[in-house]
A and B are shown apart, each in its own frame.
Chain A
């Protein structure tokens, strides 16, 4: 089946630094999503990308849908302590049938921000 490779696995940064993480896939996706998971909570959607080459921002977050449809990155600028958590990329094929709505997740990036 499809697999997503997300890197880095973990990051330890100082408050105020910028962060970058990315996902690559062995096959294409039609939608790329970025989620954040806080301890004891479910993943929360940060950014959704629907078009190859699309660059989208949400506050200090910026994400891009790779032109090959096989990759995406997420940048966080000027990190703050509440950015701590696990960030997941997810791809969706939207091919209908058995792929209907199915999200394939990356392994996650654990972000720690030191004040």
Chain B
């Protein structure tokens, strides 16, 4: 069973479209994240949710809207896609606090905007 699963793995779309990426974790973690990896492989946090509540929003454009229907799911919706949004998006989960576990990453979603 995959611990953190993202769908789709690949997404090719035109500029201006709206798209969503889904993420689910079966680790029972309280915290979930979205990270963006650019073409130079640099990883940067976008959002963090703890028990469905937004904790971190790293000055991401408001075209990006995360949604957490429950603590096992964190989806990412992107409006009006731009060329610069092309990247690999990683979902991750962790259990913070004493005795917790470090961030476990999904396989990534490679988004290509044309």
A binds B: yes
- Give residues in A with beta carbon < 8 Å to B: 33, 35, 37, 40-45, 48, 86, 88, 94, 98-105, 107-108, 110
Which B residues are in CB contact (< 8 Å) with A37? 41
- Give residues in B with beta carbon < 8 Å to A: 4, 31, 33, 35, 40-45, 48, 50, 55-56, 90, 92, 94, 96, 102-108
A63 vs B63: C-alpha distance when bound (angstroms): 39
Given contacts A42-B106, A42-B108, A44-B105, contact A107 B42 (CB under 8 A): yes
Of the residues B40, B56, B102, B107, contact of A100 by C-beta under 8 Å? B56
A40 vs B42: C-alpha distance when bound (angstroms): 15
Contact A102 B107 (CB under 8 A): no
A40 vs B55: C-alpha distance when bound (angstroms): 28
A104 vs B4: C-alpha distance when bound (angstroms): 20
Majority SS at the chain B contact face: strand
Min CB gap A21→B, angstroms: 14
Given contacts A42-B90, A98-B55, A98-B56, contact A103 B104 (CB under 8 A): no
Given contacts A44-B105, A48-B102, contact A105 B55 (CB under 8 A): no
18 inter-chain pairs at a CB distance below 8 angstroms, sorted by A residue, are A33-B102, A40-B108, A42-B4, A42-B105, A42-B106, A42-B107, A44-B105, A45-B103, A88-B43, A94-B96, A101-B50, A101-B56, A101-B96, A103-B103, A105-B44, A108-B42, A108-B43, A110-B41
Of the residues B31, B40, B104, B107, contact of A101 by C-beta under 8 Å? B31
Min CB gap B9→A, angstroms: 9
Contact A105 B43 (CB under 8 A): yes
Contact B50 A41 (CB under 8 A): no
A43: nearest residue on chain B (CB-CB)? B105
A94: nearest residue on chain B (CB-CB)? B96
Which A residues are in CB contact (< 8 Å) with B90? 42-43
Contact B31 A105 (CB under 8 A): no
B91: nearest residue on chain A (CB-CB)? A42
Which A residues are in CB contact (< 8 Å) with B44? 105
Of the residues A35, A44, A100, contact of B48 by C-beta under 8 Å? A100
Which B residues are in CB contact (< 8 Å) with A86? 41
Which B residues are in CB contact (< 8 Å) with A88? 43
